[in-house]
Amino acid sequence: MFGALIYDRRLFLSKTAYLQIKRKLEGNNLMEKFCQSCAMPLNTKNLGSEQDGSASMMYCELCYQNGVFTNPEISFTEMLAVGKAGIDQSSSNFITKFMLKALYPASLKRTTRFKNAH
Ligand SMILES: [Zn+2]
């Protein structure tokens, strides 16, 4: 949903690496296919990175780089604002954006990072 914000790095992955990541993602359950920090859908080109440089299977690249959160202090309310701004900047149409923003607080509360936030 934040397509406009994401630099497409698919071109820099070898086909083997791409397929390995795709298989890993497909092996995980549905919940884990959303970033567990910002609730953005994960795909092969927006995964965060672990300390050893491997792709994170839990977080997107906007939230998580080299094994740490890019914004460790962010609150639930702040993440809501960031997520809604991201939706606004996506290429979705007005109705889709409206729906995504309406559903976003509930999605964010389902993430492991914010499930205890209120
Ligand atoms: Zn994220």
Cα 62 to averaged position of ligand 1 atoms, centre (Å): 6
Cα 58 to averaged position of ligand 1 atoms, centre (Å): 9
Residue 23's pLDDT is 75
CA distance 63 to 92: 22
* DSSP letter string, 5-46: G----GGGS-HHHHHHHHHHHHHS-GGGGB-TTT-PBP-TTS
What pTM did the predictor assign?
0.72
- What does the pLDDT look like over 36-49, one tens digit per residue? 999 999 988 899 99
In 3D space, the residue among 63, 37, 46 whose CA is nearest the CA of residue 10 turns out to be 46
CA distance 75 to 61: 18
Cα 94 to averaged position of ligand 1 atoms, centre (Å): 23
Residue that has been written with the tokens 């995504």 in this structure = 100
111: pLDDT confidence band, cut at 50, 70 and 90? very high
12: pLDDT confidence band, cut at 50, 70 and 90? low
- What does the pLDDT look like over 64-76, one tens digit per residue? 999 999 999 999 9
- What does the pLDDT look like over 79-110, one tens digit per residue? 999 999 999 998 999 999 999 999 999 999 99
Cα 4 to averaged position of ligand 1 atoms, centre (Å): 14
Cα 14 to averaged position of ligand 1 atoms, centre (Å): 24
